[in-house]
Structure 1
Amino acid sequence: MKLAARLIGGALAAAVMAAPAFAADPIKIALVHGTSGASFDVYSKQSETGFEMGLEYATKGTMEVNGHKIELIHKDTQFKPDVARAVLAEAYGDDDALIAVGGTSSGVTKGMLPIAKEYKRILLVEPAVADSLTGPDSNRYVFKTSRNSSMDMQAQALALKPGKDLHVATLAQDYAFGRDGIKAFKAALKGTGATVVDEEYAPIKTTDFTAAAERMFNALKDKPGRKVILIYWAGGGDPLGKIAAMDPGRYGIKLSTGGNILPALAAYKAVPGMEGATYYYYEDAKNPINDWLVKEHEKRFGTPPDFFTAGGMAAALAVVKAIETAKTLDTEGLIKAMEGMSWETPKGKMTFRKEDHQALQSMYAFKIKVDPNVKWAIPELTRVITPDEMNIPIGRHDQ
């Protein structure tokens, strides 16, 4: 939908869009991700593959729920906030999508939140991470199946066993994902006695980490006790491998980071024994849904399911559960069904928190194992970190 048309007809469109679907109507779901324009596009493709496989699993291959055929609409945000807003409005308005799922970049997705409110339609956030996506600038039409920065960082803090002897320097990308993540990490350390001695932020496309690494080395090298550089990074650049190559061990400094997609885990072979926490690794979750996903993904694609494949499937399973249980198949009916809803996923049970619509879920602490017969480093499970171990802040309080 063009901008002029949106400005003229927004209120009328919102009223029409909120109308319930009739028995024979298809349910249109828009997948609104960046599939061109950035290295993050691999996350989008995994997410959309997982979503399609999740629909297949949940509907036993019929692609039909309660007599309604599911129709998928694909939209490319190009990783540009203005394009993302335009294609989401187009999905709700011109395409009549009941639900949209996306996006990939946290910064881009944040710009999509007001469009969901304008059209009074559900936006299910997957796989973007930042806490702010369910924060004060969010709204009641936004739900989030992806984990958030607080989950990443509380799990990471638990994996590091923080105490007075722990000193940390951090490296993150200079946008919503990175800054929300480090803010959450510092909050997770509060009261433990651990100290963050340096924070480094770099542009998303940074490939040379020499200057930032030297500043972190200088901040840590003379500290007593345990010294750790925490890296919170998405996409390319390989900061973990490049900083490991600079030999932080000569200062007694260890590296730590969260999990990642399988190709990126190849760089983790440089840090055997490294401890951290992850959202998903296909060998960690033990349940029938994950068993099916692993078997089918390997059969179809020749590889195990990856980080964001599991997230996409979790989102699809949430959508099907909501449609199956909603008393009315419109926005208000879906909101009532989804608030407080629990459902099973490849990671086990997730629950949409009523207050801010963030899905609470388990995380996985790991220790890196290197097997020469495996292309990537293995984040070997040390323990499951359950939702009740994490105190995830409520982001949005209005109803």
Structure 2
Amino acid sequence: MKVSRGRGSYMWIVGLGWIVAAMAAVPAAAQEPPPVRIAVIEAMSGPFANTGEAIMRNLRFAVARVNARGGVKLADGRHRLELVPLDSKNQVDEALLLLRSVADQSIRIVMQGNSSAVAAGLIDGVNRHNQRNPGQRIVFLNYSAVDPALTNEKCSPWHFRFDASSDMRLAALTEVLKRDAAVRKAYLINQDYSFGHQVAQSARAMLRAKRPDVQIVADEFHPIGKVKDFAPYAAKIVASGADTVITGNWGNDLTLLVKAAREAGVKGSFYTFYGNALGAPAALADAGVGKVRAVAEWHYNAGEPDMDRAYDDYRKMFPRPSDDYLNARMLHMTDMLAAALEQAGAVDAAAVARRLSGMRWTAEGADLWMRPDDHQAIKPLYVFTMQKAGQGAVRRDVEGSGYGFETTLKVPAADLALPTTCKMAKLPD
């Protein structure tokens, strides 16, 4: 595994036994260097609690792997990584109060992702804090808030996005859609906030460019995290005659939507960002076979041997079917942070940010470049389609559902390096 910035390489090997030992370890001596604390500001309660819990499992696994190899080597010795989970309840105001608490606790690294609105608020909050407190700066690592604005007009030298933007995800999805002759009428349905509106806007633009013959029969928004019964929306999809649904919905807003669609008899395809987990495949069952597509940097049947081994270790740590949701980007992000900390030699936000900016990471199937122009991760994306487990290349199912995904198309990073309008501020010395 290698990280390159024109200097050497960063190699490591990890096994399940080391991970278990690291999680069980107790500091052997009082003089052990203090841990490097990482605040995770995320929805741990409310309608999106399941997504927050999934994030924490991913990060616990990723951090355990780093600690299993001895943590990070800084100038004063080796330090373990330690997660500090904080419940934002998916509210911007709550997240900003937690950010103040993070600063008061002298935590220098913040992670968040499950809301672009919260991420935008945190970018502003981190910028203000760092300007006012140059000796206590914070760096913000974003694993899944994908509104393009975050690396365009709101870009910040302190913010790094490790997920693909919604425009990048749609660019990959529409490469498959443009080849899909069955698509004639598309129904757009998204959550009613900044991210959902950006998905709808970009979907319209990309359909015009790639499939001008496709009729958009509806462009609908619904309240985020508040709809308990999507049956009325599913009925409208049926009535519209749409053969394709395009949605950026996530969490329960996606699971409940696809469940209602199945019950209403929606026969068309779903082009989704996140239709591969958190109950969506089980909710669709046979109705989703060959019709539900999702997009990510990796999936369980992508055929990446190193990620296959990582997945097996993750499942040994979290064996329950409901816990089966591993994201490759969580591992890559945590390992890149560890590399940046070691190169910086200290938990210094500006030094870490300088190392992350422009970093290239090639490990466990990754081919990731943290573009310095906007701090957007540039990487290939897989588009994959739901199938019954055991068919063709579908060796692994999702969440014990009996349904998995097979690769439809792998889109090269070069095709997803979309232009940016970011005017990146210079990091302070």
Q: What band does the TM-score fall into relative to the shorter chain? A: 0.7 to 0.9
Q: Distance in 2 between matches of 1:26 and 1:72?
A: 9
Q: Residue 125 of structure 1 aligns with which residue?
A: 142
Equivalent of residue 207 in structure 1, options 228, 231, 235:
228
Aligned Cα root-mean-square deviation (Å): 2.8
Residues 325 and 44 from structure 1, CA distance in 2 versus in 1: closer, same or farther, beyond 3 angstroms?
same
The CA deviation string for residues 295-320 of structure 1, in whole angstroms up to 9 with x for no partner, is: 21221221577445433222211211
CA drift of 1:321 comes to 1.7
Contact 2:314 2:326 in 1 (8 A): no
TM-score by length of 1: 0.82
Q: Residue 35 of structure 1 aligns with which residue?
A: 44
1:76 aligns to 2:87 (yes or no): yes
Residues 102 and 345 from structure 1, CA distance in 2 versus in 1: closer, same or farther, beyond 3 angstroms?
farther
CA drift of 1:366 comes to 1.8
Q: Distance in 2 between matches of 1:105 and 1:393?
A: 23
Match for 1:282: what amino acid? Y
Contact 2:155 2:424 in 1 (8 A): no
Q: Residue 228 of structure 1 aligns with which residue?
A: 244
CA drift of 1:360 comes to 1.6
Residues 68 and 83 from structure 1, CA distance in 2 versus in 1: closer, same or farther, beyond 3 angstroms?
farther
CA drift of 1:45 comes to 2.1
1:241 aligns to 2:278 (yes or no): no
Residues 343 and 330 from structure 1, CA distance in 2 versus in 1: closer, same or farther, beyond 3 angstroms?
same
1:111 aligns to 2:121 (yes or no): yes
Q: 1:301-316 to 2 correspondence within 5 Å? A: 301-303=318-320, 306-307=324-325, 309-316=327-334
Contact 2:44 2:89 in 1 (8 A): yes
CA drift of 1:65 comes to 2.9
Structure 1 gap ranges (5+): 1-22, 222-226
Residues 302 and 322 from structure 1, CA distance in 2 versus in 1: closer, same or farther, beyond 3 angstroms?
same
Residues 76 and 210 from structure 1, CA distance in 2 versus in 1: closer, same or farther, beyond 3 angstroms?
closer
Q: Residue 282 of structure 1 aligns with which residue?
A: 300
Structure 2 gap ranges (5+): 1-31, 131-137, 391-396
Greater alpha carbon shift after TM alignment, 211-220 vs 334-343? 211-220
CA drift of 1:30 comes to 1.4
1:266 aligns to 2:294 (yes or no): no
Q: Residue 224 of structure 1 aligns with which residue?
A: none
Q: Distance in 1 between matches of 2:50 and 2:229?
A: 22
Residues 174 and 95 from structure 1, CA distance in 2 versus in 1: closer, same or farther, beyond 3 angstroms?
same
Greater alpha carbon shift after TM alignment, 96-105 vs 191-200? 191-200
Q: Residue 336 of structure 1 aligns with which residue?
A: 354
Contact 1:127 1:312 in 2 (8 A): no
Match for 1:138: what amino acid? C
Q: Distance in 2 between matches of 1:166 and 1:388?
A: 29
Q: Residue 257 of structure 1 aligns with which residue?
A: 272
Residues 210 and 303 from structure 1, CA distance in 2 versus in 1: closer, same or farther, beyond 3 angstroms?
closer
Q: Distance in 1 between matches of 2:402 and 2:223?
A: 26
Residue aligned with 2:149, SS: helix
Q: Distance in 1 between matches of 2:417 and 2:334?
A: 26
Residues 59 and 268 from structure 1, CA distance in 2 versus in 1: closer, same or farther, beyond 3 angstroms?
same
Equivalent of residue 403 in structure 2, options 350, 354, 377:
377
Q: Residue 396 of structure 1 aligns with which residue?
A: 422
Q: Distance in 2 between matches of 1:159 and 1:82?
A: 39
Residues 254 and 55 from structure 1, CA distance in 2 versus in 1: closer, same or farther, beyond 3 angstroms?
closer
Q: Distance in 1 between matches of 2:405 and 2:164?
A: 18
Residues 295 and 210 from structure 1, CA distance in 2 versus in 1: closer, same or farther, beyond 3 angstroms?
closer
1:364 aligns to 2:386 (yes or no): no
Q: 1:148-187 to 2 correspondence within 5 Å? A: 148-161=165-178, 166-187=184-205
CA drift of 1:357 comes to 0.6
CA drift of 1:64 comes to 3.1
Q: Distance in 2 between matches of 1:109 and 1:377?
A: 33
Q: Residue 45 of structure 1 aligns with which residue?
A: 53
Query: Percent identity, aligned pairs only?
Result: 22
Match for 1:256: what amino acid? Y
CA drift of 1:123 comes to 0.6
Q: Distance in 2 between matches of 1:86 and 1:201?
A: 29
Equivalent of residue 355 in structure 1, options 369, 373, 376:
373
Q: Residue 63 of structure 2 aligns with which residue?
A: 55
Q: Residue 28 of structure 2 aligns with which residue?
A: none
The CA deviation string for residues 97-126 of structure 1, in whole angstroms up to 9 with x for no partner, is: 121111422222221111211232211012
Match for 1:389: what amino acid? D
Residue aligned with 1:273, SS: coil
Q: Residue 300 of structure 1 aligns with which residue?
A: 317
Residues 208 and 46 from structure 1, CA distance in 2 versus in 1: closer, same or farther, beyond 3 angstroms?
closer
